[in-house]
Amino acid sequence: MFERFFKWHYKFRGWTLGANVPPELKKCVMIVAPHTSGWDFIYGAGAKLLLGFDAKYLAKKELFKWPLKGMFLRLGGVPVDRGKHNGMVEAMIDYLNTHEHAIVVFPPEGTRKRTTRWKRGFYHVALGANVPVIMAYIDFKEKKAGMGPWFMPSGDIEKDFKIIADFYKNITAHNPEMFALPE
């Protein structure tokens, strides 16, 4: 049901798909940016279904209420209480370590508001599970969603965040004034 809707929506809106998760990546942490609008979920979920990869994504627990709870769960959603530090990094590391194929998706901005302080949990998960970070994008100027390059985290977070900022600097958000690269 969702796939038909997203196929129609992408075609109707003139969107295309970029690259998929490379087949050699059996496990990874995926970051998706920019995140400035509720439309990001529509195009991101559409890309996930149309490209055909299975992934779990983290979202604020407030979204997991009727009538949308079932949809978010079927699309791979994991509710997160953003007000608590409840071992999510360790839980995601364990998830990656105990599954043969696993993709965990993070919106690194952690909010739709403008922020230069991107969350670092995704980085610690990738480092702790010894898996690569793949950079996914939703580009509203190009009307395209897909995967960008991937890298193994080095442990030098400033160096690795520079790689991330360099990739996302040419991606256009739904609300460009709300998007800021990580510092």
Q: What is the pLDDT of residue 1?
A: 66
What tens digit of pLDDT does each residue of 140-170 get?
Answer: 999 999 999 999 999 999 999 999 999 999 9
Residue 84 has pLDDT above 70, yes or no: no
DSSP states of 115-174: -S----HHHHHHHHHT--EEEEEEETTTTEEEEEEEE---S-HHHHHHHHHHHHTTPPPS
Residue 9 has pLDDT above 80, yes or no: yes
Question: Predicted confidence band at 26 (pLDDT cuts at 50, 70, 90)?
Answer: very high
Domain harbouring 27, CATH code: 3.40.50
State which residues form the domain around 8: 2-178
Q: pLDDT exceeding 90 applies to what percent of the chain? A: 56
Q: How many domains does the chain have?
A: 1
Determine, yes or no, domain membership for 22: yes
Determine, yes or no, domain membership for 170: yes
Determine, yes or no, domain membership for 183: no
**90-93, long-range: CB within 8 Å, 24+ apart, which pairs?**
90/128, 92/29, 92/121, 92/125, 92/129, 93/125, 93/128, 93/129
Higher pLDDT, 30 or 46: 30
